[in-house]
Amino acid sequence: MKKNKKLILILLVVLMLTTGCTKVLKDKDKKAVINEVTGQNLTENIVCRPTDSETIKLYKENKVDIDSLPYCVCPSEKVKVTEEVKDEEGNVTTEEKEVDCESFKITSGKYEGLWTSIFIKPLAFVILFFGNLTKNYGLGLIITSLLIRLVLYPITRKTAMQSEYMKKAQPEMERIEKKYANKDQNDQQVMMQKSQEMLMVYKKYNINPISGCLLAFIQLPLLIAFLEAINRVPAIFEGTMFGLHLGTTPGIGIFTNHNCWYLILSAIVMVTTYLSFKATTKDQPTTNSDMARQQKMMTNMFTLMIIVMSFFMTTALNIYWATTNLFTVAQNLIVRRRVK
């Protein structure tokens, strides 16, 4: 029965992750179509219409039917549409008429799979809602990021608490390690006794050894969903915040558009990432100095890796990453104070 449940779970995850993903728009030579202003590869399966005239031109040149899509944001209550009409002799003409503006909804468009229906479209709708409310899609991204973290707070708080519980349990864990240090490590009975004593300590301090993986398991799909929502909603990747294009990567912004303000964004990501890792690993129990050095090295390595990645992530995704980092820092400070 348990095996069947695991198999069903795996199939659902695979189904969600392999349906409705972003498709890069390609020209007749099978090359990615790039917006020259932002340096961004355009997405073929966008969920609503672009508003930038150059972007609209690129989509129409590459045979994407954007006229059938809803508006990301309605420019007015009535909009003009062009329709093809056949006369009695079969001649095709076009005529322009006004219709009610259809704005993007969660149910807009055809069904594209569970991943799009459950994650992408709802997330895009929320970002658009707060972006329209604040008149800035960068702020919409920040508000949406904070709301998601607040919804997940009961789970992430438990994960943060595990580190504090581990610190309390560390003296007893070290005593067990010393107790069995000189015993035969290949003796199954000895190792079983050691494991049982360890489990009793875990139970005493309410420690779940695998709970640390839960946050990463939850955060990865959200990170991918944010990237998909940004790439598939033109109003988001066409937007700006503090003069930075949300759809442009810092790498393109600095080296192609010669805008050094993108360096500040990368610096913010660097600082918040470092603080987030430090807040997560601060005062974590270590049995020896070698482990402490390894922990510090891993923190620095991951920080460096995120810095490099930030140059290839869109501005919008960098804003999301920095926001979640700051939330993590605040959350760990609150948890640490409550435990003490």
pLDDT band at residue 94 using 50, 70 and 90 as cut-offs: low
Q: Is 147 helix (H, G, I), strand (E, B) or coil?
A: helix
Q: With 90 as the cut, is the pLDDT of residue 97 above it?
A: no
Q: With 50 as the cut, is the pLDDT of residue 42 above it?
A: yes
CA–centroid distance for 38 within its chain: 21
pLDDT for position 126: 93
pLDDT for position 144: 92
Q: Is 70 helix (H, G, I), strand (E, B) or coil?
A: coil
pLDDT band at residue 51 using 50, 70 and 90 as cut-offs: confident
The alpha helices in the chain, defined as continuous H runs, are 2-17, 53-61, 114-115, 121-134, 137-151, 153-179, 188-204, 212-232, 234-237, 250-255, 261-281, 289-310, 315-339
Q: Which residues lie closer than 8 Å to 243 by C-beta, 6 or more apart?
A: 259, 261
Q: How far apart are CA 108 and CA 89, in angstroms?
A: 36
C-beta separation of 248 from 189 below 8 A: no
- Which residue bears the tokens 């006369």? 87
pLDDT for position 90: 67
Better-scored residue on pLDDT, 79 or 135: 135
| Tens digits of residue pLDDT in 254-274 | 888 888 899 999 999 989 988
pLDDT for position 265: 92
pLDDT for position 128: 93
What is the CB-side half-sphere exposure of residue 129 using CA atoms within 13 A?
11
Strand 78-86 relative to strand 92-100, pairing: antiparallel
Q: With 60 as the cut, is the pLDDT of residue 12 above it?
A: no
Alpha-carbon distance values, 226 to 28, 121, 206, 213 (Å): 29, 10, 33, 20
Q: How far apart are CA 192 and CA 188, in angstroms?
A: 6
| Most confident stretch, 79-83, 93-97, 139-143 | 139-143
pLDDT for position 193: 83
pLDDT for position 5: 46
Q: Which of 74, 22, 21 is nearest to 237 (CA)?
A: 22
Among 120-124, 139-143, 213-217, 316-320, the range scoring the smallest mean pLDDT is 213-217
pLDDT for position 2: 44
Better-scored residue on pLDDT, 237 or 25: 25
C-beta separation of 104 from 70 below 8 A: yes
Q: Across 62-137, where does the E strand assignment appear?
A: 78-86, 92-100
Q: How far apart are CA 64 and CA 273, in angstroms?
A: 39
Return the DSSP state at 66: G
